[in-house]
Amino acid sequence: MRERNASSVSYVETVAGFTAGTVSTLCLHPLDLVKTRLQIDSISRSRVGGSIRLIRNVYKTEGGIAAFYRGLSPNIIGNSTSWAAYFLFYGNIKDFLRHEKGVDSEDGLGASGYFLASGAAGVLTSILTNPVWVIKTRMLSTGSSAPGAYPSFIAGARQILASEGLAGFYRGLVPSLFGVSHGAFQFMAYEKLKSHRLKTVRELGNLDFLFISGLSKIFAGCITYPYQVLRTRLQAYHASLVYRGGVWDVMRQIWRQEGITGFYKGLGPNLVRVLPSTWVTFLVYENTKGLLL
């Protein structure tokens, strides 16, 4: 009976996470493209209005509205599988920790338990999905007509395998693993805020999920954003030629050429993107989970 219940919970977590990742990506892909272009820009300094100028340039020179949906396939594949895997791992690790601690409810895990569960789930998910993110980053970083641009997800995978080998699919993995702390901080805050709110209400509503998920995302984002810039630079085309010393070389070059603001390039569109993305993801996840349970 216990095995059947665990299997049912795993199924629910996976389906809810997959659905949430797909819906949020379809809604917010263009902002992801803008953020990626800003993150890989190692020439210009961060300026107010940079996002607007970039949007105008993409629209005028790369084919209008359709240009903002370049790389949609790997983004959907990456986000849907990432969220599905993440919630599957996260739910099972939380159950394991509860069993080891001998507590009946998740409240007994404490902040450290949530942090550990989300961190471990993040590491496993990052290793599993990094190849997809490499292809997605490269497709979003250039227009479809740029020299050497991948025409499709499959073509990109074949080209990486042929020119860089299997190691090419794991470029940027180190800063991605640094970024696991982002999810760990976010879910620690999310679970604790949920627990705190449930002390005053019988059941959480959609407005509660909006507020709690948004607040936890801002908290995590303010702490960990620079890792995203490092990861994007390492996953871009020709990164192996520009940053021969890996992640430490990226950090040195950004610091010398762009200053501290270089580590926060794309933060504006990232905040604009991640909050709606977080709201959509957690609303869809919590409601899908509620329907399936």
* 177 burial type by CB count under 10 A (0-12 exposed, 13-18 middle, 19+ buried): middle
Other C-beta atoms lying within 10 Å of the C-beta of residue 273: 21
pLDDT of residue 1: 44
Q: Which of 5, 82, 13, 86 is nearest to 289 (CA)?
A: 13
DSSP SS3 for 63: coil
pTM higher than 0.75, yes or no? no
d(C-alpha 216, C-alpha 219), whole Å:
5
Contact status, residue 67 vs residue 58, Cβ threshold 8 Å = yes
DSSP designation for 143:
-
pLDDT of residue 202: 87
Report the residue count for the chain: 293
CATH 1.20.200.10 applies to domain 2-292: no
Contact status, residue 176 vs residue 133, Cβ threshold 8 Å = yes
**pLDDT tens across the length of the chain (293 residues):** 444 455 577 788 888 889 988 988 888 888 888 888 887 776 666 665 677 888 898 899 888 888 888 889 888 998 889 989 998 999 899 888 988 887 776 667 888 889 999 999 999 999 999 999 999 889 888 888 888 889 989 999 999 999 999 999 998 888 788 778 888 899 999 999 999 999 999 889 999 999 999 999 988 887 888 888 888 888 877 777 888 778 889 899 999 998 988 888 877 777 777 788 889 889 999 999 888 87
pLDDT of residue 3: 47
pLDDT of residue 4: 47
DSSP SS3 for 237: coil
* Helix-, strand-, coil-residue percentages of the chain, each rounded to 5: 85, 0, 15
Contact status, residue 89 vs residue 125, Cβ threshold 8 Å = yes
